[in-house]
Structure 1
Amino acid sequence: MGDQERDRRWPLMWSLALSTLRHRASAFAAAFVAMLLGAAIVSACGGLMETGIRLAVPPQRLAGAAVVVTGDQSYALPKADPEDEEEDVQYGLLPERVPLDPGLAGRLARVPGVAAAVPDTSGAGAVQAVAVTAEDGTDTRELAERVERAVAGSAVVLTGDERGLAEFPEALAARENLIVLAAVFGAMAIIVSMFVVAATLALSVQQRQREMALLRAIGTTPGQVRRMVVAETMALSIAAAVPGGLLGPVLGGWLFDRLVDNAVVPGVVVYGQGWLPAAVGVAVSLLSALIAALVTARRAASARPAEALAEAAAPPVRTGAVRRAAAVTCFAGGVALALVTVLFMHGPLVSSTAGPAVLLWAIGLALVAPTLVKAVTSVLARPVLALSGPAGYLAVLNTRAGTARLAAAVVPVLLATGMATANLYMQTTQTGAAGRAYAESLLADLVVTPATPDTLDQVRAVEGVAAASEYVTSTGYVDAPHDAWQREEGWPLRGVSAEGVEKTVATTVIGGDLRQLKGDTVALTAVHARNIGRGGVGLGDTVTMRLGDRAQVKLRVVALLRVETGNEMALLPASTLAPHTTAGAPSRILVRAADGVTREALTGELRRLGLEVQGRDALTAAFGAAQNTQAWVNYLLVGVIVAYTAIAVVNTQVMATARRRREFGLQRLTGSTRGQVLRMTGVEALMVAVTGILLGTVASAISLVPFAIAVDGSPLPSGPWGIYAGVVGAVAVITVGATWLPAWLVTRSRPAEAAAALT
């Protein structure tokens, strides 16, 4: 009998839920929009990730080849214990073209089914790829398998749209960029979506508290109320998530095009999204809605009938034990990440702990928002009463009586302010610190090209030149001893000339001598040296490094350096590093002017030699452009999520205001004018905005202070105050506008009609 009764309950609840959605469509519009956009963003992030995983790069010059063989640009970072099979292997990306064995083309030509194997030496002379054409009737897949066996793991075999990677190896960096960005911001979007949907549903249920109370009073059980709320939410989420998932490819394509336009992803990469990301977006949206519905329904069904009727008139302000425990957990995690950020993180690693800390603090504050909102509005009451007269008095009374409603409206404002402020200032702080460290590391006044040994001698012979050094950059990895601090990005390498490095590159030598930087030698930062191997490495020790073209070299440590945070690097002789770059030679010469010699005068002397001469600003500008490109990626994706949160602010405020039509009508019947009602709602909106902005500022500040200390040594983040003013101004305008406009619309009707309305 029990099973039969349960079988009848759910169809009844679904029928009631669908009926409620039909007759109260406006009450659920905000939740519908939040779910739809959440599914679209998650689906779009999935599309970017799928594009990165597939990485389709159609060939151009090598389009006639059935199979293309090229060097393996991936590099497996050494493990602490090579015998430990359980330790995950991390992979880096080598920045230079990995050359192939010159005899490989000849061996491949003898593989059965190969019509021809043509080496590609379009770069600096080394064999960069081998284009393999098939004999008539040879299956491409079978041919690829034979070629795989022939190369025996010494190279990569490409077919289909992957063949273009042999022509455009820089596209490989797009794979990691797209996957990491999609994963990070997709996860952030899921969490934000869950809280936005939960806040919107909570506000919707609060507005229907009288309806819930009457249902309880006539005998509806808590389980029936809970099932009704869950059924309503799931029916709504299905209607919203499906079109949201289908909208994902459109949004993902737009985001991808912006990444291409700003050179984050090469234009040769083809965007492609199948059905799986859309399905994941729909599933995640449904799961988020279900979790939010269960939390909201528990609160709606827990009160006794008499209590429910009382709470319908004056919702209580209380934070449940589960929410308090979750908030404490978030705060504890935020504190732990702050300590790790300050004590252990440096350079690019800082954002890996500071970024999640922002979300933890924002979520923690959102969980205890009802308690915090009551405290903040109590503080704001005095200045509001002093400045806004009767309208402020009524607004203060409304906020005190409707703290629960106010808290639901504050949460999206808190999230938008906290996330936007923290992420923007983290980026400006890290970009600014890296730019200053790079600029301070250059003592040279001028940059000369081309850079050849003869040119270097000519430059040094010019009167007025104090020092000149070849200069080349790359990236490398430490093979041995084990480097515990090594990341997938590798270590920046700078190739210089021992005779001119101390006057052209700003370094503080705390051990050894840079004049010995010749042959197979290296200069490491003292911090880096201490973390290599079990006891660190010192002067005279040998370090085995993997250079950008996969070449392995043994280098003797001849100097230990102290550098500014954000300028971590290793110095090698330019003659050692340059042959292992794609260009095969130093890219430029750094020149330091002698005392009393102006840059302009020295520039003229150097140009008489037929050399191209630029100021040091050319290097800092190029470095800044690379930094700004990465910054733009974060701005774009964070902007999408913040825009989603801002839409949630609008939805929440519109829904909260539109449902007060009856209240406004009664207020006008008791003598208030329409203007007084609008002024009152304007003051309430300002209190919502100020409260959310204050709490969001707290969440961002607690995260930014340890981040700024770790990056720049100062508790204040870098960046113009206009960023914060812009965030605050935009959030305030959106909040007030989204409150005042609906109030203006609902007060157009006659007071008696509004007072008689059921909603």
Structure 2
Amino acid sequence: MLRLALRSLRFRTGGFVATFLSMFLGATMVMAFASMLDTALGDGVPAASQETLLTMANVVGGWGLLMVAFAVTSTLTLSVRQRSTEMALLKSIGATPAQIGRMIVGETAVVAVVAAALAIPFAVLGGSRLLEVLISTDQVDPGVTYVFGPAALGIGLGVTFVGSTIAAMLTTRRTTRMRVADSLLDASTGRARMGKVRLIAALLFLAGGTNLGVITATVMHGKGTDAMQTAGSASIVFAIGLALLGPFLVRRVTAALAWPLQWVAGVGGYLTVQNVRQRTNEMATALMPIILFTGIATGTLYMQDIDNKALATTGAVQTSLQKNIETLNLVVIGMLALFACIMLINTLVAATTYRRREFGQQRLVGVTRGQVLRMVGLEGILLAATGAFFGAIASLATVLPFSFARTDSIIPDSSIWVFAGIITVAVSVTLASSVGSAWRAIRTPAVEAVIA
């Protein structure tokens, strides 16, 4: 099966691009922050600088690790779903579920090793730049020397390889257990139900985010900037819970907006509704990074704005600890938001490019290229609006409790333009990725796209 996995990689290189990019970027991010551990354990590092470096490595690196695992699982899920017909054919000629599972895990392991190895020089560059930022903001002593050592390599390589292979095993679990007829039906409809494990995980994350919000508003009330310890994590945990509910959210939103879309957009609206219903799981995969980006960015930026205004109101001077926390928040939001954006682009490009044959079939029955692009554009708007709405809900787990804990007011005195800017980025990235990929896909003649 390993030889089959290598042959599959050789002849299906394009199908692994999305997964490779997730692993590569994830390994780069994890190793860059893990290198702060090596740096902190270097000779002659002052205690205050060591504490800052360890905090940066543990807090930011920990959340980054979770996001990486989430991204790799999402892209692998999309890749495996796109190969449902291939899996069914392998079963029909005698391949066992265990053999198919080993093939996919073998493919993933090879990609993970290559991605992690290529990420090392970029991680070194990213880690050194991160240390420069900490030194320039007076949070780390200028005499501290950057070290990229065993902690960064061990954590980066180990997490990328182990996390990716575990994600592959979890992803293939359902597909390999299905009968041939069920596999073919799943490949043709793409409307599989959400698994119980995923539902339970989603509910646990939602409960965890809610719990952190309650702790912020009660236990951390009146404790100033310290309330960020629980408030900052609340929107991230809650957003992950909503992202896991992606298939359920897509179905419900589509059902609610089906008639308005068809009435306003005509043929394009009808095609959009039918395609979203047919491709619920693929759309849910693309919805995840939008919810994460919107929820994390909104929650963190508004939390920092609330804290800054609270300090200004009291006339207090920002201490070194508060400056450290502000830098940490900005690094967190920058890292996670950038990764979520890349994950969104990666997922949408992979999903839309795969639909070349579908677009060809539509054009052969009379759908024009303009109608195809309008359909994809409406799908993108539907995705962006759904992701922004539920991302905003996730951000409330941070914003409302922290505002009450910090200012005794549930409603923060913050500008709506911050949220408007976040929504603009989410919509722009979604439309540019999906419509741009669709435009490239429909440049192929319809007949050639169908028989390819």
1:672 maps to 2:355: no
Distance (whole Å) between structure 2 residues aligned to residue 722 and residue 303 of structure 1: 49
Distance (whole Å) between structure 2 residues aligned to residue 703 and residue 189 of structure 1: 19
CA drift of 1:432 comes to 1.7
CA drift of 1:338 comes to 2.1
1:752 maps to 2:447: yes
- Considering Cα pairs closer than 8 Å and 6+ residues apart, tell me whether 1 or 2 has the greater RCO: 2
- Residue identity matched to 1:48: M
CA drift of 1:627 comes to 5.0
- Residues matched between the structures, number: 450
Answer whether contact 2:233 2:398 (CA < 8 A) is retained: no
1:234 maps to 2:109: yes
- Higher strand fraction (1 or 2): 1
Distance (whole Å) between structure 2 residues aligned to residue 236 and residue 718 of structure 1: 48
More off after superposition, 378-387 vs 201-210:
378-387
Distance (whole Å) between structure 1 residues aligned to residue 310 and residue 9 of structure 2: 53
- Higher helix fraction (1 or 2): 2
- Residue identity matched to 1:391: G
| Counterpart residue number, 2:133 | 258
Runs of 4+ in 1 over 4 A off after TM superposition: 624-630
Distance (whole Å) between structure 1 residues aligned to residue 264 and residue 403 of structure 2: 37
Residues 330 and 633 (structure 1), Cα distance of their counterparts in 2 relative to 1, 3 Å cut: closer
1:35-79 deviation line (CA, Å, top 9, x unaligned): 01111111111112322232x5xxxxxxxxxxxxxxxxxxxxxxx
- Residue identity matched to 2:100: V
- Give the 3-state SS of the residue equivalent to 1:270 in structure 2: coil
Answer whether contact 1:384 1:392 (CA < 8 A) is retained: yes
| Counterpart residue number, 2:33 | 45
| Counterpart residue number, 1:32 | 20
- Give the 3-state SS of the residue equivalent to 1:266 in structure 2: coil
1:195 maps to 2:183: no
Distance (whole Å) between structure 2 residues aligned to residue 626 and residue 14 of structure 1: 52
Alignment of 1:164-203 (within 5 A): 172-203=47-78
Distance (whole Å) between structure 2 residues aligned to residue 181 and residue 50 of structure 1: 12
Distance (whole Å) between structure 2 residues aligned to residue 177 and residue 42 of structure 1: 17
Answer whether contact 1:425 1:718 (CA < 8 A) is retained: no
| Counterpart residue number, 2:409 | 714
Answer whether contact 2:139 2:320 (CA < 8 A) is retained: no
| Counterpart residue number, 2:429 | 734
1:655-697 deviation line (CA, Å, top 9, x unaligned): 0000011111111111111111111111111112112222211
| Counterpart residue number, 1:224 | 99
| Counterpart residue number, 1:21 | 9
CA drift of 1:218 comes to 2.4
Distance (whole Å) between structure 2 residues aligned to residue 667 and residue 212 of structure 1: 25
Answer whether contact 1:429 1:718 (CA < 8 A) is retained: yes
| Counterpart residue number, 1:359 | 236
CA drift of 1:301 comes to 0.9
1:454-513 deviation line (CA, Å, top 9, x unaligned): xxxxxxxxxxxxxxxxxxxxxxxxxxxxxxxxxxxxxxxxxxxxxxxxxxxxxxxxxxxx
CA drift of 1:732 comes to 1.1
CA drift of 1:308 comes to 0.6
| Counterpart residue number, 2:175 | 300
- Residue identity matched to 2:440: L
CA drift of 1:176 comes to 1.1
1:429 maps to 2:306: yes
1:684-728 deviation line (CA, Å, top 9, x unaligned): 111121122222111111332222211122222343222211111
Name which one, 1 or 2, has greater alpha-carbon Rg.
Answer: 1
CA drift of 1:331 comes to 2.2
| Counterpart residue number, 1:701 | 396
Answer whether contact 1:185 1:638 (CA < 8 A) is retained: no
| Counterpart residue number, 2:120 | 245
Alignment of 1:269-284 (within 5 A): 269-284=144-159
Identity of aligned residues (%): 38
| Counterpart residue number, 1:449 | none
Alignment of 1:95-174 (within 5 A): 162=44, 172-174=47-49
Match of 2:271 among 371, 394, 405: 394
CA drift of 1:34 comes to 0.6
Distance (whole Å) between structure 2 residues aligned to residue 244 and residue 279 of structure 1: 13
Distance (whole Å) between structure 2 residues aligned to residue 702 and residue 193 of structure 1: 22
Distance (whole Å) between structure 2 residues aligned to residue 357 and residue 627 of structure 1: 20
- Residue identity matched to 1:189: G
Distance (whole Å) between structure 1 residues aligned to residue 151 and residue 207 of structure 2: 36
| Counterpart residue number, 1:603 | none
- Give the 3-state SS of the residue equivalent to 2:411 in structure 1: coil
Distance (whole Å) between structure 1 residues aligned to residue 118 and residue 302 of structure 2: 35
1:404 maps to 2:271: no
| Counterpart residue number, 1:380 | 257
1:308-358 deviation line (CA, Å, top 9, x unaligned): 111110022412111122222222222322222211113233112222222
Distance (whole Å) between structure 1 residues aligned to residue 11 and residue 389 of structure 2: 38
Distance (whole Å) between structure 2 residues aligned to residue 315 and residue 751 of structure 1: 23
Alignment of 1:541-620 (within 5 A): none
| Counterpart residue number, 1:347 | 224
CA drift of 1:174 comes to 2.1
Unaligned residue ranges in structure 1 (runs of 5+) = 1-12, 57-161, 166-170, 440-619
Residues 249 and 693 (structure 1), Cα distance of their counterparts in 2 relative to 1, 3 Å cut: same
Answer whether contact 2:311 2:318 (CA < 8 A) is retained: no
Answer whether contact 2:268 2:372 (CA < 8 A) is retained: yes
| Counterpart residue number, 1:127 | none
| Counterpart residue number, 2:338 | 643
Distance (whole Å) between structure 1 residues aligned to residue 386 and residue 88 of structure 2: 30
CA drift of 1:206 comes to 1.0
Answer whether contact 1:217 1:306 (CA < 8 A) is retained: no
- Residue identity matched to 2:198: R
Distance (whole Å) between structure 1 residues aligned to residue 308 and residue 49 of structure 2: 21
1:123-174 deviation line (CA, Å, top 9, x unaligned): xxxxxxxxxxxxxxxxxxxxxxxxxxxxxxxxxxxxxxx3xx7xxxxx5422
- Residue identity matched to 2:212: L
TM-score normalized with structure 1 length: 0.57
Residues 379 and 702 (structure 1), Cα distance of their counterparts in 2 relative to 1, 3 Å cut: farther
Distance (whole Å) between structure 2 residues aligned to residue 194 and residue 340 of structure 1: 27
Alignment of 1:323-342 (within 5 A): 323-342=198-217
Unaligned residue ranges in structure 2 (runs of 5+) = none
Match of 2:329 among 634, 646, 663: 634
CA drift of 1:625 comes to 9.5
TM-score normalized with structure 2 length: 0.95
- Give the 3-state SS of the residue equivalent to 2:218 in structure 1: helix
- Give the 3-state SS of the residue equivalent to 2:266 in structure 1: helix
CA drift of 1:197 comes to 0.7
